[in-house]
Structure 1
Amino acid sequence: MLYVKQQATVDARSSPDRKRATEEERLELVDLSGMSLESLPNPSLNLATICKLDLSNNNLQMIPESLTARLLNMVVFDVHSNQLKSLPNSIGCLSKLKVLNVSGNLLVSLPKTIENCRSLEELNANFNKLTKLPDTIGFELINLKKLSVNSNKLIFLPNSITHITTLRILDARLNCLHSLPENLENLINLQVLNISQNFRCLSSLPYSIGLLFSLTDLDISYNEITSLPDSIVCLKRLQKLSVEGNPLISPPMDVVELGLHAVMEYLSHQMNGSSSHKNGYNNSPRKKSWIGKLVKNKTFNGHVTPNHRDHHHEEREGLVVPEYHRPIDGLASPRHLRMFSPRRLFSPKTNFTR
């Protein structure tokens, strides 16, 4: 059964508006999803009138070149959850395409002609077998806002991705990434970056990650990262940082467990050239963090009690930390940190009474 829905018209007031409305009246929404199709039936309507085609949840192994070449007004193309091993090269003819969903297939690569879909705003290629993306994909997809390529076999992301200045969401988790492109600072609108669960492959982050000034959510969990670039302290809009599952040394886990503010302060001292530490915290003679002062004054000993475990996953000040947390001894435990601001603790005018 072919489901066709006519797209709503717009209010026609002037002659150009009436012409545009007449064109939109002819555009159709075609839904062939969930019909166990192994091949596509011969279309009974003009393919140029289709603006959305849903072929998801079928058993399609290929899409004919002749089909996509005639979908000249296609805006949304959904073929997720099929058995596709490749996409037709004629997909590059879809100059008006804004949303392409090819997730849940058997794709090993994307055709280079996808670069011609310059109106594309969202590309979902999750759950495939992609080993690489077209090298120059970022030079042409100048309107892309969301790129989802999680659960593939990508070893690297092409450097051209850093040219997609419109990109807001980049999801590349569950791959085999060994590194990230160096020039990330060009992604001036990137808000969400998820490169988690590349497991034993990703061991470092480029310094330019701290120049993603629009970033609010950074997930680098479950990799082999031992140190965070101190440039991360420049991410003033960052609200959530997920680091669990990494063998972090810098900052040490004692700092990580205190939350995002403590991590940022630690990295700030790193950036300022402080290199000596005591009990895992910065102890520079030039500039001491308030955590370091707590340690020096024996208000906070930095140790954890081994006999009490909290098995609940926690988020502290936007920082996602592992499930093995243990409460910290001393007055400066995380639940009391707000009571001990640097001004209260170290101001000469502060009086403490018993």
Structure 2
Amino acid sequence: MMCEQQQQQQQQIRMDTKKKAAHERKRSIEAERLEIVDLSGMSLDALPNPSLNLGTICKLDLSNNNLQNIPESLTARLLNVVVLDVHSNQLKSLPNSIGCLSKLKVLNVAGNLLSYLPKTIENCRSMEELNANFNKLSHLPDTIGFELNSLKKLSVNSNKLVFLPRSLTHLTSLHVLDARLNCLRSLPEDLENLINLEVLNVSQNFQYLETLPYSIGLLLSLVELDVSYNKITALPDSIGCLKKLQKLIVEGNPMVSPPPEVFEQGLHSVKEYLSEKMNGGHKTPPKKKSWMGKLVKYGTFNGANRSGPREERGGFIMPEYRSIDGLASPRYMGMFSPRRLFSPRTYFSR
């Protein structure tokens, strides 16, 4: 009886092995048939009638042309496309049939005239990277974050976005979120759900972005945070909890908290200050002698009075280096920051 059972098990194993081998051969044959089609930089105003089978294309590059639209019928037949690149064209919209691309992993629509993305883009559930930089997007689909569970990189910089949909906080696979150079007035509150986010860039929203949500300090995987050139006056105390944070860029903000003398001491001191403040144990850091005061003392600035009372010019108090507006403004920070003088970039890092 035992021998019969063993024979049956061995026979089943052999059958499973054969099926697996046949499946792999089939996949290999299909992969060999797939093609890469490059029609980039050909000054195309319209797509030529293709003589090939659209279902065999795995990568289609239509970038750097003059295309104003992509036919619905063409997109619907790209059933095996993994990479679709249409950047640098004149597209005002994307076809709704883009939702048929179930295998699509990379979509590049940067440098077009798009004012919106079709809601059907949510059906591209295999998508890992979406680049929609340099368009005219005023909003993103409200529920985009509920469906694109595989998305790792979202780039929507240089658009006209006023807000990011709250559903983005459900993108638990997201590693990079680039939303700089928009018109953002706020960020979603529940950012802590972005458990894998490593890079967050919301810089250069200029006069619009004034505050950051407390939840930004709960992004435990965050390595780089760029909030430069906004109207932020205070960093959330919770940022002191970001143990993996290695780069914090805040220049160009009218920053009051932490104070400038803390920023002068680097990222570690900033995180320590915020952490102590959050725990209620913050003590005012000792005042450091200002290098700006020395410049004034020795007459580095024309018209400086060495022995007279402290002098204020354009919101910048010379002797004590105290004016926050002067410190944070692009005009003065770019010119006088010692970090700018001694390093190629102005940021705080370990």
TM-score after normalising by structure 2: 0.79
- Aligned-pair CA distance for 1:304: 3.6
Aligned 1:90-109 pairs, distance under 5 A: 90-109=97-116
Amino acid across the alignment from 2:334: E
Name 2:222's counterpart in structure 1.
Answer: 215
Of the candidates 170, 182, 185, which is equivalent to residue 178 of structure 1? 185
Deviations 1:229-264 (A, max 9, x none): 000001000000000000000011221122111111
- Aligned-pair CA distance for 1:38: 0.3
In 1, the alpha carbon distance for the partners of 2:203 and 2:338 equals 26
In 1, the alpha carbon distance for the partners of 2:40 and 2:291 equals 57
In 1, the alpha carbon distance for the partners of 2:102 and 2:54 equals 15
Aligned 1:134-283 pairs, distance under 5 A: 134-274=141-281, 282-283=283-284
Deviations 1:39-62 (A, max 9, x none): 000010110000000000000000
In 1, the alpha carbon distance for the partners of 2:230 and 2:337 equals 22
Amino acid across the alignment from 1:117: C
Name 2:321's counterpart in structure 1.
Answer: none
Name 2:51's counterpart in structure 1.
Answer: 44
Amino acid across the alignment from 1:27: L
Of the candidates 127, 140, 150, which is equivalent to residue 134 of structure 2? 127
In 2, the alpha carbon distance for the partners of 1:74 and 1:17 equals 20
Is residue 83 of structure 1 aligned with residue 90 of structure 2?
yes
Structure 1 unpaired stretches of 5+: 1-12, 276-281, 284-290, 310-320, 329-333, 335-354
Q: Match of 2:84, SS?
A: strand
The percent of aligned pairs where both chains have the same amino acid is 71
In 1, the alpha carbon distance for the partners of 2:333 and 2:87 equals 33
Deviations 1:269-297 (A, max 9, x none): 2102246xxxxxx33xxxxxxx43xx4xx
Q: Match of 1:77, SS?
A: strand
Is residue 31 of structure 1 aligned with residue 42 of structure 2?
no
In 2, the alpha carbon distance for the partners of 1:201 and 1:55 equals 35
- Aligned-pair CA distance for 1:303: 6.7
Q: State the aligned residue count.
A: 287
In 2, the alpha carbon distance for the partners of 1:158 and 1:103 equals 20
Q: Match of 1:60, SS?
A: coil
Deviations 1:197-242 (A, max 9, x none): 0000000000000000000000000000000000000100000000
Name 1:118's counterpart in structure 2.
Answer: 125
In 2, the alpha carbon distance for the partners of 1:327 and 1:134 equals 43
- Call closer, same or farther: CA 1:244–1:168 in 2, change over 3 Å: same
Deviations 1:163-216 (A, max 9, x none): 000000000000000000000000000000000000000000000000000000
- Aligned-pair CA distance for 1:145: 0.1
Q: Which runs of 4+ in 1 moved over 6 A?
A: none
Of the candidates 303, 323, 328, which is equivalent to residue 334 of structure 2? 323
Answer whether contact 1:109 1:130 (CA < 8 A) is retained.
yes
In 2, the alpha carbon distance for the partners of 1:118 and 1:102 equals 17
Structural RMSD (CA)? 1.9
In 1, the alpha carbon distance for the partners of 2:154 and 2:217 equals 20
Answer whether contact 1:257 1:325 (CA < 8 A) is retained.
no
TM-score after normalising by structure 1: 0.78
Deviations 1:78-130 (A, max 9, x none): 00000000000000000000000000000000000000000000000000000
More helix by share: 2
Q: Which has the larger radius of gyration?
A: 2
Q: Match of 1:200, SS?
A: coil
Answer whether contact 1:171 1:193 (CA < 8 A) is retained.
yes
Q: Match of 1:179, SS?
A: coil
Q: Match of 2:334, SS?
A: coil
- Aligned-pair CA distance for 1:268: 1.6
In 1, the alpha carbon distance for the partners of 2:137 and 2:187 equals 17
In 2, the alpha carbon distance for the partners of 1:136 and 1:25 equals 37
In 1, the alpha carbon distance for the partners of 2:258 and 2:171 equals 31
- Aligned-pair CA distance for 1:322: 4.0
Answer whether contact 1:304 1:327 (CA < 8 A) is retained.
no
Of the candidates 60, 71, 74, which is equivalent to residue 78 of structure 2? 71
